[in-house]
Structure 1
Amino acid sequence: MTKIKLCGLKRIEDIEYVNQYQPDYIGFVFARSSRFIDDTVALQLKHKLDERIQAVGVFVNEPMGHIVSLCRNKVIDVVQLHGDEDEAYISKLKEFISNPIIKAIRVQSREQIKAAQSLPVDYLLLDTYQKAQYGGSGIAFDHRIIPKCSKPFFLAGGLNKENIVTAIKDSNPYCIDVSSGVETDGVKDEEKIKEIIGMVRYMK
């Protein structure tokens, strides 16, 4: 069964929603964006998160020490690198943490995805390429260019109730990653969360 990640949680209410509807992962965004939260808020939210749900920290070109601190203090369970982090950066980070690592790829070609499979990470995350933007565009890309992957991947980029079932059938991701697709006016929407999770859990 395809797993589910809901990204960009910021409020206690968001945590209450996911504790009720049980996605597999949630995301805390530590990169500067409309969904940014600081360490203090992230810790408060993590304390209230159902322990069955894994918290992913989303970073863009972050100083390594900050990531290590959040992992060691158990604020996050999984690291998502969404910037220009290269193989050397990832290998160095792995010397300090044992947490799973996701590397986001802003997809431009099939060959780019194939090359990324050699990175020393546990998962890839395939997201829409937008010039000068590292993610969160709310725009989907052509999933038909995704090759057969040897490494499990998260699928992101403009997923919502209209396209999510087709996206899963077309690309067979390990996990789907939804943010704006479960929001109304930039705020997480309980009914949309319930609907999206229900669609994925019970899709034929």
Structure 2
Amino acid sequence: MSSLTKIKICGLSRLEDIQAVNEYLPDYVGFVFASSKRQVSVAKAQDLKNHLSEKIAAVGVFVNEELCRIKEIYDRGIIDLVQLHGDESAEYMDNLKKLIDAPLIKAIRIEGRQSLAAVEDCAADFILVDSSYGSAYGGSGHTFDWSLLPSPLGKRFFLAGGINLDNVNQAVALSAYCLDVSSGVETNGFKDPAKISNIIEQVRGLA
């Protein structure tokens, strides 16, 4: 089962990052369009996507974004999936699905067992469970209490929040559809090709 776990490297912002993922081939990469230290402009994301291997799917990460802007970025071929990491409602997602034909990932911040009710009600194609850390919508680099997740969760889910080489074995054991990694493969705030290689190798090599 674990050998089927997919991996996403999120927050790419440089051509050096693209070169690294093209060599090691994660299943997904993420371009962050929301306010963040990893935020990229549309023009930058277009350039990165132009150099990205066709074997890798690009995810656009948005927080409470205007629908027309997401549609513009999708129509330009910059992203293949949309990750909604804010307070987007079911109505918002329904309207977005009418505009674009892309899988939707909805992030749910886990504060306690009560947070899991949103998992059952979510109409997105995937959910992403992430830590809740202050007012941040994500990207904190902190884990949450993984024991809160029921097994099975009942939906295909991305697991995010503080995944790194030290805890990736435990993360794989949770049977997530995909592990979403960002700060865990960085050194001094930049993506580290050696860490990207190591974590992908570890995920795919686990028996």
Q: TM-score range by the shorter chain?
A: over 0.9
Q: Which residue of 2 aligns with 1:154?
A: 158
Q: Which residue of 1 aligns with 2:16?
A: 13
TM-score after normalising by structure 1: 0.97
Q: Which residue of 1 aligns with 2:168?
A: 164
Over the aligned positions, Cα root-mean-square deviation in angstroms equals 0.9
Does residue 72 (structure 1) correspond to residue 75 (structure 2)? The answer is yes
Q: Which residue identity does 1:140 align to in structure 2? A: T
* Aligned length in residues: 203
Once the two structures are TM-superposed, the CA of residue 166 in structure 1 deviates from its matched residue by: 1.0
Once the two structures are TM-superposed, the CA of residue 21 in structure 1 deviates from its matched residue by: 0.1
Does residue 86 (structure 1) correspond to residue 121 (structure 2)? The answer is no
Q: Which residue of 1 aligns with 2:126?
A: 123
CA-to-aligned-CA distance 1:154-199 (integer Å, 9 cap, x gap):
0000000000111211x21000000000000000001000100000
Once the two structures are TM-superposed, the CA of residue 115 in structure 1 deviates from its matched residue by: 3.1
CA-to-aligned-CA distance 1:47-82 (integer Å, 9 cap, x gap):
100011000000011111110111111110000000
Residues in 1 aligned to 2:140 and 2:118: alpha-carbon distance in whole angstroms: 24
Contact 1:30 1:36 in 2 (8 A): yes
Q: Which residue of 1 aligns with 2:43?
A: 40
> Percent identity among equivalent residues?
49
Residues in 1 aligned to 2:118 and 2:142: alpha-carbon distance in whole angstroms: 23
Residues in 1 aligned to 2:31 and 2:117: alpha-carbon distance in whole angstroms: 28
Does residue 113 (structure 1) correspond to residue 116 (structure 2)? The answer is yes
Residues in 2 aligned to 1:105 and 1:138: alpha-carbon distance in whole angstroms: 15
Q: Which residue identity does 2:169 align to in structure 1? A: V
TM-score after normalising by structure 2: 0.96
Residues in 2 aligned to 1:185 and 1:133: alpha-carbon distance in whole angstroms: 20
Unpaired segments of 5 or more residues in structure 2? none
